């Protein structure tokens, strides 16, 4: 589990910037018709014909967003793509290109970056995305990765955060809290490893949570499903900072409130067990965990029959008028206002 971060092979200073780019990107080929020209000129060229272009960007910083003591670089590369394409799916768009820039300190060898690019390539293949450019540079400390993802959608198919209407159903894909539960396990094992590096932990009972943390997937399948069911959500967002935080974003953009039912929250049994082990409230973890990269969306009541009992989708509540605010309703009918407790980068506790 704990990869050797520094296999002391080829220092980056042995390669020039251009040779490094050539080596890291040699196995990437352009596959999408919209990718006219990729790496190798001052800029990449794209042609989306009449479609609307969708653009998103994310910055991942070592020590803030990832910890290489338990996050293998290949997984990090994969996750960096997932985080971005997830934002495009949240617009009901199809990703087609990414640019990848990184700044790496001299602690990183060529082989380490090669592992990062293996993960990027695996994700590009899985999501049908072309690597079309980027920038590579040294840093004075640590690794920073910046990805911009581009995609497209027909103009009338785009789903924004605004658009939720009173009485719409609130739907979430997959289940919640898994990535946060997995993080608790990894942080505990890191602490154990520091005390006793020879300890061989049995993590087999935590595989789901760990996978949700280390190798999340963006819900391309859900976007395809909605298309095949002929459902156009009235609003949509991906769950990166936690369900509570995303509900508040939808509420603000759509000028509505929400009633969410605690007993409807989809939580994997393993996540409940991890919560018990760590004495965490599983509802709190599901509401505020973050990094699940599930889709949260609202649909008209008329779509109820199409989605009820679908194994990928759970109806967790409904849209109310704005004055009601965002409320979590528990099994006893008690109403609790939803507040954002998700991850915030600039918090004092960091």
Asked if 146 is part of the footprint of its own copies (rule: CB under 8 A), the reply reads yes
Residue placing its CB nearer to its own copies in the complex, 149 or 328: 149
Asked if 158 is part of the footprint of its own copies (rule: CB under 8 A), the reply reads yes
105 strand-pairing partners? none
> Given the DSSP bridges, would you call strands 326-329 and 257-261 parallel, antiparallel or unpaired?
parallel
Q: In this chain, which stretch among 147-155, 191-199, 203-211, 257-265 interacts with its own copies, using CB under 8 A? A: 147-155
The only residue of 7, 31, 33, 135 in contact with its own copies, by rule CB under 8 A: 135
Asked if 133 is part of the footprint of its own copies (rule: CB under 8 A), the reply reads yes
Task: Return d(Cα 234, Cα 230) in angstroms, integer.
Answer: 13
CB 49, CB 152: distance < 8 Å: no
Provide the sign of the torsion angle of the four alpha carbons 261, 263, 264, 265, taken in this order: positive
CB proximity list for 286: less than 8 A, separation 6 or greater: 175, 176, 177, 243, 265, 266, 267, 271
The only residue of 6, 27, 29, 137 in contact with its own copies, by rule CB under 8 A: 137
Q: Say how many C-beta atoms besides its own lie within 10 A of residue 33's C-beta.
A: 10
173 strand-pairing partners? 313
In the complex, least distance from residue 249 CB atom to its own copies, rounded to whole angstroms: 8
Residues belonging to the chain: 350
Asked if 79 is part of the footprint of its own copies (rule: CB under 8 A), the reply reads no
Asked if 31 is part of the footprint of its own copies (rule: CB under 8 A), the reply reads no
Identify the three-state secondary structure at position 59. strand
The only residue of 71, 82, 132, 186 in contact with its own copies, by rule CB under 8 A: 132
Asked if 142 is part of the footprint of its own copies (rule: CB under 8 A), the reply reads yes
Asked if 24 is part of the footprint of its own copies (rule: CB under 8 A), the reply reads no
147 strand-pairing partners? 58, 100
Q: Encoding tokens for residue 234?
A: 């009235």
Asked if 13 is part of the footprint of its own copies (rule: CB under 8 A), the reply reads yes
Asked if 30 is part of the footprint of its own copies (rule: CB under 8 A), the reply reads no
Residue placing its CB nearer to its own copies in the complex, 14 or 276: 14
Identify the three-state secondary structure at position 334. coil
Minimal CA–CA distance to 217: which of 312, 286, 304?
312
In the complex, least distance from residue 208 CB atom to its own copies, rounded to whole angstroms: 26
Q: What is the DSSP string of 96-144?
A: EEEEEEEEE-TT-BHHHHHHHHHHHHHHHHHHT-EEEEEEEEE-SSSEE
Residue placing its CB nearer to its own copies in the complex, 36 or 334: 36
Residue placing its CB nearer to its own copies in the complex, 65 or 259: 65
Map residues 241-270 to x or -, x wherever contact with its own copies holds by CB under 8 A: ------------x-----------------
Phi, psi of 174 (to 5 degrees): 55, -140
Q: Considering only residues 288-347, where is the footprint of its own copies by CB under 8 A?
A: 344-347
Residue placing its CB nearer to its own copies in the complex, 19 or 334: 19
Asked if 61 is part of the footprint of its own copies (rule: CB under 8 A), the reply reads yes
The only residue of 15, 229, 272, 329 in contact with its own copies, by rule CB under 8 A: 15
Asked if 44 is part of the footprint of its own copies (rule: CB under 8 A), the reply reads yes
Number of residues interacting with its own copies: please give it, by CB under 8 A: 74
Element (H, E) at 273: helix 269-277
In the complex, least distance from residue 236 CB atom to its own copies, rounded to whole angstroms: 8
């Amino acid at each position: 589990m704990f990869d050797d971060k520094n296999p002391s092979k080829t220092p980056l200073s042995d390669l020039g910037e251009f040779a490094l780019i050539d080596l890291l990107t040699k196995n990437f080929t352009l596959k999408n018709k919209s990718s006219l020209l990729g790496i190798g000129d001052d800029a990449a060229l794209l042609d989306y014909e009449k479609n609307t272009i969708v653009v998103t960007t994310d910055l991942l910083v070592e020590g803030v967003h990832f910890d290489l003591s338990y996050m293998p670089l290949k997984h990090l590369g994969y996750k960096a793509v997932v985080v971005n394409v997830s934002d495009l799916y949240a617009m009901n768009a199809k990703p087609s290109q990414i640019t990848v820039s990184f700044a790496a300190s001299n602690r990183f060898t060529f082989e380490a970056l090669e592992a990062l690019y293996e993960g990027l390539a695996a994700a590009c293949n899985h999501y049908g995305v072309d690597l079309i450019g980027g920038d590579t540079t040294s840093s004075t400390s640590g690794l920073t990765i910046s990805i911009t993802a581009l995609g497209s959608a027909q103009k009338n198919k785009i789903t924004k955060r605004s658009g939720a209407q009173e009485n719409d159903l609130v739907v979430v894909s997959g289940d919640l809290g898994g990535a946060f539960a997995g993080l608790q396990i990894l942080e505990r094992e890191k602490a154990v490893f520091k005390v006793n590096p020879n300890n061989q932990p049995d993590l087999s009972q935590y595989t789901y949570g760990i996978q949700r943390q280390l190798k999340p997937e963006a819900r391309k399948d859900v976007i395809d499903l909605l298309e095949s069911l002929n459902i156009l959500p009235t609003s949509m967002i991906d769950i990166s900072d936690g369900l509570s935080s995303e509900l508040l974003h939808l509420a603000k953009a759509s000028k509505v409130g929400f009633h969410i039912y605690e007993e409807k929250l989809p939580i994997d049994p393993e996540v409940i067990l991890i919560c018990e082990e760590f004495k965490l409230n599983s509802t709190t973890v599901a509401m505020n965990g973050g990094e699940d990269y599930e889709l949260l969306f609202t649909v008209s009541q008329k779509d109820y029959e199409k989605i009820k009992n679908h194994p990928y989708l759970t109806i967790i509540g409904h849209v109310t008028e704005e004055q009601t605010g965002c409320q979590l309703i528990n099994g006893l009918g008690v109403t609790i206002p939803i507040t954002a407790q998700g991850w915030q980068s600039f918090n004092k506790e960091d």
